[in-house]
Amino acid sequence: MKTRVSSAGTVPLEPVEFPVCARAAFLVTPEGFALAEQSATDNTYMDVTRSVDAERALAQHRALHRALAQHLPTICFAGDPATPDAVFPNNVFATAQGRLILGHMRHPVRQAEAQRRDIRGFFTGVLGYAEIDLRDQPGICELTGSMVIDRGRGIGYCGLSERCDPAGAAAMAEAFGLRRLVTFELAPGEYHANVVMSVLASRALVLCPQGFSDPAQGEAIAAAYGEAAILLDAQEKNAFAGNCIALTADTVFISEQGADSLRPATRGALQKNGFALHAVALDEIEKAGGSLRCCVAEIF
């Protein structure tokens, strides 16, 4: 399938024809949890001067695993203290039907994660997935951190930053087999699109226009979803409310900090669109500059 490239909001939404939610998920434990200084160079949500509690991070991560496992099969791979950002595997590993995709990470500390034989072997040897390795192509592409995918419609919304360039966006669109690719520049200080927006089961959209270099582009994407678009303000976005995920058709998983930041109107809009909120405390892990959605790698 050849991917069409379009500007934000210029093309009507395609009909939903593909599975909208993952059939399973996987996590990587925060063993030896620490803040990676390389990642902090372009992640303004991090503050490397803050101390972290590795045991508390592990406890919160176990609680996340238990919460997800109540709703869909969720497996967890052991972490490695040598790769402290490995708690966010969705940047490095992603799936489409029958395919495991390896991202081209910007920082060497993240590049090391893709060398793991256990995760790759699980998908290729146990599940029989084909491996698509994007590490050797020239574009930087941090998978479902940089690209928010409307899975049911096959649309990828890709935020360009130091973590993803146009060549990387095009490579991801081909690897995922997307119908359409929409690219936009993220606002200064934003590193991943999945911090500023999320498509929920191809039925609703949460989005913060201030996370876009041109807020009008964010508003145009939201307009395509009509009444199913839920606009976040900057305070909600900064609390990781946009880093939420619908792993089932009626439940949105969000961090406790993100849930606490939601205005009544935002909560009401989620409920109106048929979603119950499931909040998990992740404030220790959020010190590393990512939140709940970043911890979850979806299995399609």
pTM: 0.94
What is the pLDDT, as a whole number, of residue 107?
77
**Which is it for the CA torsion 185, 189, 194, 200, positive or negative?**
negative
Q: Which amino acid is at 136?
A: D
Q: Which amino acid is at 93?
A: F
Rounded alpha-carbon distances, angstroms, from residue 12 to 80, 177, 234, 292, 295:
44, 19, 27, 30, 31
Place of tokens 């979806």: 298
Query: What does 190-224 look like in DSSP terms, one character per residue?
Result: ---GGGTEEEETTTEEEE-GGGBSSHHHHHHHHHH
What is the pLDDT, as a whole number, of residue 39?
61
What is the pLDDT, as a whole number, of residue 108?
84
* Cβ-contact 89, 297 below 8 angstroms: yes
According to DSSP, the residues that pair with 158 across neighbouring strands are 147, 183
Per-residue pLDDT of the chain (300 residues), as tens digits, is 678 887 777 778 999 999 999 999 999 999 888 766 666 566 667 777 788 899 999 999 999 999 999 999 999 999 988 887 789 999 999 999 999 999 999 878 788 899 999 999 999 999 999 999 999 999 999 999 999 999 999 999 999 999 999 999 999 999 999 999 999 999 999 999 999 999 999 999 999 999 999 999 999 999 999 999 999 999 999 999 999 999 999 999 999 999 999 999 999 999 999 999 999 999 999 999 999 999 999 999
- Enter the tokens of residue 86: 């490995």
What is the pLDDT, as a whole number, of residue 37?
66
What is the pLDDT, as a whole number, of residue 293?
98
| Domain count within the chain | 1
Here the CATH number for the domain that contains residue 61 is: 3.75.10.10
List the domain range (segments joined by +) for residue 149: 4-299
What is the pLDDT, as a whole number, of residue 1?
62
What is the pLDDT, as a whole number, of residue 72?
98
Separation between Cα atoms, residue 160 and residue 140, nearest integer Å: 10
Separation between Cα atoms, residue 291 and residue 294, nearest integer Å: 5
